Amino acid sequence: MTTTLQEQIHERLAALNPTQLDIIDESHLHSGHAGARGGARHLRIVITSSQFDGMAPLARHRLVYDRMHDLIPYPIHALAIVAKAT
What contacts 30, CB < 8 A, 6 or more positions away?
36, 42, 77, 78
Whether 37 has a pLDDT exceeding 90, the answer reads no
Distance of alpha carbon 66 from alpha carbon 55, whole angstroms: 15
**What CATH number has the domain bearing residue 35?**
3.30.300.90
Share of the chain above pLDDT 70, in %: 86
Higher-confidence residue of 77 and 81: namely 81
For residue 36, what pLDDT band results from cuts at 50, 70 and 90? low
The pLDDT mean for the chain works out to 90
Work out how many domains the chain is built from and give that number.
1
Taking only the tens place, the pLDDT of each residue in 4-35 is 999 999 999 999 999 999 999 998 776 666 65
Give the residue numbers spanning the domain of 57.
Answer: 3-85
